[in-house]
Structure 1
Amino acid sequence: MSFDGSFTHAMVNELNTLLQSGRITKIHQPYENEVIITFRANRKNYPVLLSAHPNYARVQITKIPYANPATPTNFAMMLRKYLDGAILNGIQQVENDRIINFSFSKRNELGDVEELLLAVEIMGRRSNIVLLNNSTKVILDTIKHINADQNRYRLLLPGATYITPPSQDKRNPFTDTSEAYVTAQNNYPNQEVLANELRKIYQGLNKDTSLELAHYLHQHNKPDAFKSFFAQFNQAQPTITTQKRKSNFTAFPYATIEGTQQHFETLSELLDAFYVAKAQRDRVIQKAGNLVHVVKNDLKKNRIKVKKLNQTLVNSEKADDYKIKGEILTTYLNQVKRGMTEITLPNYYDENRDIKILLSNQISPSQNAQKYFKKYQKAKNAVHYVSEQLAKTNQEIQYLDNIMTQIELANPQDLDEIREELEKEGYLKAKQTKRKQKRVQPSKPETFYSTDGTKISVGKNDTQNDRLTLKTAKKTDIWMHTQKIPGSHVIIHASEPSEQTLIQAATLAAYFSKAQDSAHVPVDYVPVKRVHKPNGAKPGFVIYEGQTTLIVDPDEKMVQELREQN
């Protein structure tokens, strides 16, 4: 389900209950399309996420940690200028549309009270966040600037007059008293057809909600059925319903959506759970920038190189043939005449069977023999060189494959160390700036606790992995890693962990690896003292011996449960 108008109605109710008369204490823009505004209300701090993301636009209170950029954006600075310390007057939804207006009061530099409005428009790729003067409707700034070339109906630029998105000329199901649904129900007894018709009549209904409404009207054939259906949005029972790998979130359990149900205390907690992986992955992709492009390009080049090197090895297998032809030509040199292009001679290496030898008519018989000896020597020399190059290139592929896995599994705050590592290894050019670059602060591995309370650390990049395994961990701690699969270093901070802890730590190792979506993943474990880093090895690369192997299935639910025990 998407964040439709009816779900927006329920969210506005929740936010008004928790944030009413709250004061803004912090404003950050950690990501390109998302703002975090912290409200202080009822002696509690509430970080509110306002997202204009093209796929995950929403408004909610969030508990997911975020990393602030070193330099605030222009939009964040504008919000701080006008809204820092402002008092929230109220939160309103525009009809049953996906537009939420936060109205504020704040005294300006002259001591006069200013009425300000922050409009969050949740409209897919057209989503936006607009700050405006509520009295004059003049736009102060927007998170996305939209000019006349992009939208002829309205400008979304500083100084322009704010115009709300065009009305769809539909009825608000929460206030409409026309009972238009009765006519639709009589004319369209089929539930799916009725759902389509209801979407044409009423504002803010997506496909899931309209199907649920059509089903409800058929099941509850009474005069107040329509009203009682929408009353459920005022008493939310936040639910995520999962069937196989598809999940849907709803303001209350929908009878028309089958699957395993998970319930939450608030709509915001529901959205945190639903979007934590999806939004995080997208944030990582955004922040990774050219990292993915560089790594993929280098992987492609090295894989092409491996193919060419392997072909060279195949060709070098003909070295012995060149040697035999050279020796046979030398033996029967008196039978070879200048100007010949080929000759067939007895092959005393293969039971005197005849062998056909190609010749150059431009050189002497002796030079033809020497030519075959030179080919033999060149092919023999190539075997040694190519074998070395093949080993190095395969190591390069292994390293880059591991980096790609780390990017895919990273949190946004882990990417700076990955970028710094690629710069040190020469894959990326270091940014040249006049000012001295700020040193990347070392990030810490993620910490989990098994059900018996044992601490487990998981490295998320090579810097973390090296530091965790080679410096932080005790020699008696247990080290884990997926067998021959790129992934995280996992440390159990105990010398003799329980079988349950071993299985849970192995599940973490499998989950934070390239085999995250696989089953029956082999995970090796040894005491840290048996793990060594070869001289000159690339970051994150270690060797080990005397391992024991566990076979586990990656389990996202278990990972989340262990994370919550922290």
Structure 2
Amino acid sequence: MSFDGSFTHAMVKELNALVSGGRVSRINQPYDNEMIITVRSNHENYPILVSANPNYARVQISRIPYVNPHTPTNFTMTLRKHLSGSVLKKVSQIDNDRVMVLHFTTRNEIGDLKEMMLVVEIMARHSNIILVDTQDDMRIVDAIKRIGSDKNRYRTILPGDTYITPPKQDMVNPFSSELNMDKINSLVKEFPNQEVLAAELRHRIQGLGKDTSLFLAQTLHKDDSTKNNFKDFFSYFDNPVPSLLENKSSSLFTVHPFDKEDYESQRFDTLGELLDTYYETKARKDRVREQGGTLIKVAKNELKKNKKKLKKLNKTLENTKHADEYRIKGEILTTYLYKIEKGMKSIELPNFYDNGNPIKISLSNQISPSENAQKYFKRYQKAKNAVIYVNEQLKNTHAEIDYFENILSQIEMAEPSDLDDIKTEFKNEGYLKHHNKRSNSNKNKRSKISKPEAFYTDDGVKILVGKNNLQNDKLTMRDADKRDTWLHTQKIHGSHVIIKDFDPDDKTIETAAMLAAYFSKARDSATVPVDYVKVKHVRKPNGAKPGLVIYDSQRTKFVTPSKEFVDNLRQNKSAS
């Protein structure tokens, strides 16, 4: 089910029940086009995610942690100026459309009460967040996306403009008393096919996404009581049972555990919890792609370049296999110089390396016999030197390919906050240029590396997990005690994991191995080998790339990675 008008209706009810009458305590913008407005209500903080993300636009109470940028945006500062300390009076919806309005009561510069609206238009790539002053003729104060007349002739969204609602559609609000059930009943009879009926309903009833209309069509075809079925269906949006429907390949969120073939349902206490679960991975990857676009591009380009180089080196190495032939021909020519006459283009001589069988040797008619022999010795020496050079280049190129494959794997699993370390690493390694004078003046200064994620076992043992190469190096080579236990997936790109215990039991080692397997490229594998050893047996070769270490004396544990296991472990914050 998409975040359509009907789902918006359900979310408005949930927000009113939880945060209406609450006071705004914090306003942050952790990601592009997404705000977190924290409202204090009934002695509890509710972080309201207000998103105009083109792919995941929505409004919900979200408990997913986030990291704020160092410098707030202009839009953030505008919201703080007008809404900090204000009271969220109510949340409303325009008809059954995907437009949600947060109504705030605040005070102006002289202390008089005034009302402000934060309008959230949930419309895919046209989604927007707009601050409106209701007591100044609906004047737009600012918007997270400013829209000029060159982009939209119907309405502009710029500071100082009058706010105009999106164009109304000629459709019926299913929650309105004006609904004509006779028309709905005739549609059900006219279109027995559920998909065809769903398409017709989408054209006539406001706020129906594709999945919602299909579930509605399914409900209406249950029996002949169209009116009751219709009423029952939309009652789910007033009294939702938040449900996640999943099969092996896809998932969708709904307000009710509808029957869907081959799908299993999981229920949640609130719509916010449901959306957190549904969007956690999808939104994280999208944010990483947005913020780490340059890093991904650099890594992919370098990977492509090195794979191309690898092919050329292998071809060159193949050609050097003829080096011994050049030496043999040179020695044979030297032995039989007296038989060679200047001006010959080839000669056939006995090969004393092959039982005297004749070998045909090409000659240059422009040089002397001895010069022809020396020419073959030079070609032999050149090929011999090339073997040493090419093997060294092959080693370096394989290391580069492995490095960038590891980087792409880290980016895929990264949180947006982890990208700064990877960016710093790329700059240090020379893969990213410093684009301005300020960064040039500071490029030799050591950047602060973010902290690894900490987990705690039931017994209070601390386990640290590095999320990128700089974290891994610092964690293993600088911060860890030599008596701690180090873990890493065997021959698979992944995180360095440290058990902060000198003598961990088998259960603790297995817990850490589960973390090492989950935070690796083998996250989705059934069985993953994880090596573990004391930190004193881990070494970093001279000149090695960030994150690369070698180790010995290891033992191996086989585990099956589990997201549920890691999520449960994250909730255990009781440090020893």
Q: SS at the partner of 2:6? A: helix
Asked if 1:333 is matched to 2:337, the reply is yes
> What is the alpha-carbon distance in structure 1 between the residues aligned to residue 558 and residue 150 of structure 2?
57
- Name the stretch that deviates more: 400-409 or 488-497: 488-497
Which residue in 2 is equivalent to 1:346?
350
Asked if residue 161 in structure 1 is aligned to residue 162 in structure 2, the reply is yes
* Matching residue of 2:129: 129
**Is the counterpart of residue 195 in structure 1 residue 198 in structure 2?**
yes
Counterparts of 2:221 and 2:460 in 1: how far apart (Å)? 52
Q: Is the 8 A contact 1:456 1:493 kept in 2?
A: yes
- How many residue pairs match? The answer is 566
Is 1:561 the counterpart of 2:568? The answer is: yes
Code of the aligned partner of 1:173: P
Q: Does 1:470 align with 2:477?
A: yes
Q: Secondary structure at the match of 2:286?
A: helix
Q: Structure 2 length as normaliser, TM-score?
A: 0.94
Shift of 1:505: 2.5
Whether contact under 8 Å (1:480, 1:526) holds in the other structure is yes
Q: How does 1:106-255 map to 2 (within 5 A)?
A: 106-135=106-135, 136-175=137-176, 176-179=178-181, 180-219=183-222, 221-222=224-225, 223-255=227-259
Cα shift at 1:219: 2.4
RMSD: 1.9
Residues 204-233 of structure 1, C-alpha deviations (whole Å, 9 max, x = no match): 111221122222223254342211221121
Cα distance, 1:326 vs structure 2:
0.6
> Contact (CA 8 Å) 2:452, 2:475: kept in 1 or not?
yes
Distance (Å, rounded) in 1 between the aligned partners of 2:260 and 2:384: 71
Query: Which string of whole-angstrom CA distances, capped at 9 and with x for unpartnered residues, describes residues 316-348 of structure 1?
Result: 111110001111111111222222222111111
- Structure-1-length-normalised TM-score: 0.95
1:178, distance to aligned residue in structure 2 (A): 1.3
1:500, distance to aligned residue in structure 2 (A): 4.0
Task: Measure, in 2, the Cα distance between the counterparts of 1:228 and 1:474.
Answer: 63
Matched with 2:556 is 549
Determine the C-alpha separation between the residues in 2 that align with 1:58 and 1:367.
80
Distance 2:240 2:223 in 1: 20
- Give yes or no for contact 1:241–1:257 (8 Å, CA) kept in 2: no
Q: Tell me, what secondary structure is at the counterpart of 1:38?
A: strand
Q: Output the amino acid matched with 1:195.
A: A
Q: Is the 8 A contact 1:521 1:552 kept in 2?
A: yes
List alignment gaps of at least 5 residues for structure 1: none
Within 2, Cα distance between the matches of 1:486 and 1:556? Answer: 18
2: CA distance between counterparts of 1:255 and 1:451? 38
Quick one: distance in 2 between partners of 1:452 and 1:197? 59
- How big is the shift at 1:472? 2.9
Distance 1:411 1:206 in 2: 30
Provide the C-alpha distance between the structure 1 equivalents of 2:62 and 2:490, rounded to a whole number of angstroms: 37
**Which deviates more, 498-507 or 166-175?**
498-507
- How far off is 1:433 after superposition? 3.5
1:211 and 1:256 in contact (8 A); partners too: no
Q: 1:89 offset after TM fit, Å?
A: 2.0
Alpha-carbon separation, structure 1, partners of 2:437 and 2:381:
51
Paired with 2:334 and 2:447, the residues of 1 have a C-alpha distance of: 68
Q: Does the residue aligned with 1:219 lie in a helix, a strand or coil?
A: coil
Aligned: 1:510 with 2:521: no
Deviation at 1:240, TM superposition (A): 0.8
Q: Which moved more, 1:49-58 or 1:282-291?
A: 282-291
- Aligned letter for 1:205? L
Query: Counterparts of 1:310 and 1:535 in 2: how far apart (Å)?
Result: 26
SS at match of 1:317: helix
Contact 1:172 1:202 in 2 (8 A): yes
Q: Deviations over 1:388-408 (max 9, x none)?
A: 222222222222222222222
Task: Describe the superposition over 1:77-106 as per-residue Cα deviations: whole angstroms up to 9, x where unpaired.
Answer: 121222222222211111111110111222
Contact 2:100 2:120 in 1 (8 A): yes
Give yes or no for contact 2:173–2:179 (8 Å, CA) kept in 1: no
Q: Please state how far the C-alpha of 1:115 moved relative to its aligned partner.
A: 2.1
Q: Establish whether residue 9 from structure 1 lines up as the match of residue 9 from structure 2.
A: yes
Does the residue aligned with 2:437 lie in a helix, a strand or coil?
coil
Matched, 1:480 2:487: yes
Cα deviation digits, residues 347-370 of structure 1 (max 9, x gap): 111011111111112111111110
Q: Deviations over 1:422-462 (max 9, x none)?
A: 21122212343348659644311112234555432211011
Aligned-partner residue type, residue 230 of structure 1: F
Change (3 A) 1:256 1:245: closer
How far has the Cα of 1:496 moved from its partner? Answer: 4.5
Q: Give the equivalent residue in structure 2 for 1:433.
A: 437
- 8 Å CA contact 1:63–1:272 kept in 2: the answer is yes
1:360 corresponds in structure 2 to: 364
Which whole-Å CA distance do the structure 2 matches of 1:341 and 1:132 have between them? 91
- Note the C-alpha offset of 1:494: 3.4
State how far apart, in whole Å, the 1-side matches of 2:191 and 2:313 are. Answer: 68
* Matched-pair contact (CA < 8 Å) for 1:451–1:501: no
- Secondary structure at the counterpart of residue 271 of structure 1: helix
Tell me which amino acid in the other structure corresponds to 2:493. P
What SS does structure 1 have at the residue aligned with 2:172?
Answer: coil
Counterpart of 1:489? 496
1:72 match:
72
Q: CA deviation at 1:7?
A: 1.0
- Percent same amino acid among aligned pairs? 57
Answering whether residue 406 of structure 2 is matched by residue 405 of structure 1, we say no
Q: Does 1:82 align with 2:89?
A: no
